[in-house]
Amino acid sequence: MNPPLERREVPLRALYSAPLVEGTDRAGGLRVVPAANSFAPGGAVPKLVSAPRFRSARAVDPGLGTEPKGAGRAGREGFALLAVLWVLVALAALAMMAQLAARESVAAARNRAELTEAAWRAEGCAERARAAISAALRGSRVEGPSGQSWNRIPRTVADSPLTAACDIEVRAAGAALDVNTADAETLHRFFAAMEIAPATADSLTDALLDWRDPDTEPRPSGAEADAYLRAGLAPPRDAPLAARAEVRRVRGFDRFPGLDTLLDVEGARIPLGHAPLPVLASLPGLAPQVLARIAELRLRGEAVPEVMTLGQSLSGAARAALERGASELAARTTDAPDAWVVTARARVGTPAVAAALEVRLVRAGERAAVVRRRSWTE
């Protein structure tokens, strides 16, 4: 073989054997095309000609850039999976909402059942107290309407085995001041006996009178709806109070804890042997000497007689004051309660729901008769 030819062939073979894409070369888009006599001895140098237009990769490799077999189905399956997951989340949320609603319904039903049970227990305790009172009255047939058995009703109920497991409160009707009928003078005497400052007593008196009167004009130290609304409080009823608890809603009364226990919304004659001394002090003509005599009789456990009987042991000034108010005192006081108010409470469940029943009992011969009932929840 001719050596020069061998030297020209080697670079050409290397050029043709390079891994180039058809139509391109390493120099920028031209390919080498040897002349017809390039391998002949003394042949011409290979010439460069323009490469054909570049073809896309897909033309070179038809499989390049196409989706793998089954790729479309996989995408559809992924979308379906996401849809199923969202449906499951929605169903789980609905199930949770239904469970919460069912739980609330069950809790409400349980509360109603417990409240009903508490109401019946309170009813049973009230009947037990009435049975104990009737038994005591039957044992004192020779006594009059104001006999000692009727005066000792709280002790009778407390000592009876019938009421040992009951929560019962017994108070004499009229032992608290009736806020629906008390006038300004009566209220001022009451607040003075409670040792409340005169300016504060004026404010409390006017506020209470404004609460129950039908007009909307405030008294000098009172308050009507505008003042309550500005303070963020419930406006006054502009009518008689409906319950003892309503007293705490009157402006200023919440500053004196326990004051509402000396006030009531039902009228009755004031029992001299059971009413607190501030309530007795609200009556006209009962001087401090009279009140001291009543407190002494109570301390010794003796019955408090009628007002005029008390006057026999008083000094001249106190007796004169008592005689001036004798007619009014005789109409507003009594030596024995006209009625007894029995309040029974019962609690059931955890947390406890409480029901209360209040009955007003009057003496009807040898038994205690119910003349009024009131129930509420606490």
Per-residue pLDDT reduced to its tens digit, 155-198: 999 999 999 999 999 999 999 999 999 999 999 999 999 999 99
Residue 132 confidence (pLDDT)? 95
Question: Hey, how many other C-beta atoms are within 10 angstroms of the C-beta on 8?
Answer: 16
The answer to whether the beta carbons of residues 2 and 41 sit under 8 Å apart is: yes
pLDDT surpasses 50 at 48: no
pLDDT surpasses 90 at 228: yes
How much is the mean pLDDT over the chain? 82
The encoded tokens of residue 343 equal: 């309040």
342 in any annotated domain: yes
Q: What is the mean pLDDT of residues 61-85?
A: 65
- Interhelix angle 198-212/184-193, rounded to 10 degrees, is 140
**Residue 361 pLDDT level (bands cut at 50, 70, 90):** very high
Closest to 270 (Cα-Cα) out of 246, 251, 292, 286: 286
Pairing between strand 340-348 and 167-172?
Answer: antiparallel
Q: What is the mean pLDDT of residues 70-76?
A: 60
Task: Give the contacts of 197 (CB within 8 A, at least 6 positions apart).
Answer: none
93 in any annotated domain: yes
Residue 324 confidence (pLDDT)? 84
Closest to 22 (Cα-Cα) out of 11, 10, 13, 30: 30
Q: 88 and 15 in one domain?
A: no
pLDDT surpasses 50 at 344: yes
Q: 119 and 49 in one domain?
A: no
Cα–Cα distance for residue pair 173/271, rounded to 1 Å: 8
Q: 45 and 88 in one domain?
A: no
Task: Give the contacts of 3 (CB within 8 A, at least 6 positions apart).
Answer: none
Residue 55 confidence (pLDDT)? 53
Q: 96 and 167 in one domain?
A: yes
Residue 99 confidence (pLDDT)? 85
Residue 155 confidence (pLDDT)? 93
Split into its structural domains, the chain has a count of 2
- Interhelix angle 316-324/288-299, rounded to 10 degrees, is 100
Between residues 79 and 163, which one has the greater pLDDT?
A: 163
Q: What is the mean pLDDT of residues 290-311?
A: 86
Task: Give the contacts of 298 (CB within 8 A, at least 6 positions apart).
Answer: 273, 304
Question: What does the DSSP assignment read for 173-227?
Answer: TTSSEETTT--HHHHHHHHHHTT--HHHHHHHHHHHHHHHSS--PPPTT---HHH
Q: 168 and 87 in one domain?
A: yes
Q: What is the mean pLDDT of residues 55-61?
A: 51
**Residue 199 pLDDT level (bands cut at 50, 70, 90):** very high
Q: 46 and 89 in one domain?
A: no
**Residue 143 pLDDT level (bands cut at 50, 70, 90):** low
**Residue 65 pLDDT level (bands cut at 50, 70, 90):** low
Residue 158: its H or E element: helix 153-159
Between residues 120 and 101, which one has the greater pLDDT?
A: 120
Cα–Cα distance for residue pair 340/344, rounded to 1 Å: 13
Q: 150 and 87 in one domain?
A: yes
**Residue 75 pLDDT level (bands cut at 50, 70, 90):** low
Q: What is the SS3 assignment for 46?
A: coil
**Residue 319 pLDDT level (bands cut at 50, 70, 90):** confident
Q: 24 and 55 in one domain?
A: yes
Cα–Cα distance for residue pair 40/5, rounded to 1 Å: 7
307 in any annotated domain: no
pLDDT surpasses 70 at 51: no
Closest to 284 (Cα-Cα) out of 182, 173, 179, 175: 182
**Residue 56 pLDDT level (bands cut at 50, 70, 90):** low
309 in any annotated domain: no
pLDDT surpasses 60 at 57: no
277 in any annotated domain: no
pLDDT surpasses 80 at 356: yes
Least confident of 280-294, 299-313, 331-345: 299-313
Residue spans of alpha helices (H) in 242-350:
277-281, 288-299, 307-310, 316-324, 326-332
pLDDT surpasses 50 at 322: yes
Between residues 108 and 185, which one has the greater pLDDT?
A: 185
pLDDT surpasses 80 at 44: no
Q: 87 and 51 in one domain?
A: no
Q: CA 163 from chain center: how many Å?
A: 32
- Strand partners for 312: none
Least confident of 65-74, 234-243, 347-356: 65-74
Phi, then psi, of 31 in degrees rounded to 5: -120, 155
Q: 166 and 88 in one domain?
A: yes
326 in any annotated domain: no
**Residue 283 pLDDT level (bands cut at 50, 70, 90):** very high
186 in any annotated domain: no
**Residue 320 pLDDT level (bands cut at 50, 70, 90):** confident
Q: 50 and 88 in one domain?
A: no
Task: Give the contacts of 109 (CB within 8 A, at least 6 positions apart).
Answer: none
Least confident of 62-66, 133-137, 253-257: 62-66
For 33, the domain range is 3-60
**Residue 17 pLDDT level (bands cut at 50, 70, 90):** very low
Pairing between strand 177-178 and 167-172?
Answer: unpaired
Contacts 24+ apart (CB under 8 A), 212-220: 212/179, 212/180, 212/236, 212/237, 212/238, 212/239, 212/240, 212/241, 213/238, 214/238, 214/239
Q: What is the SS3 assignment for 20?
A: coil
Is residue 258 left, alpha or beta, with left meaning phi > 0 and alpha meaning psi from -120 to 50? left
Least confident of 4-18, 312-326, 339-353: 4-18
Cα–Cα distance for residue pair 126/163, rounded to 1 Å: 9
Q: 91 and 36 in one domain?
A: no
36 in any annotated domain: yes
Residue 181 confidence (pLDDT)? 94
Closest to 373 (Cα-Cα) out of 342, 346, 347, 345: 342
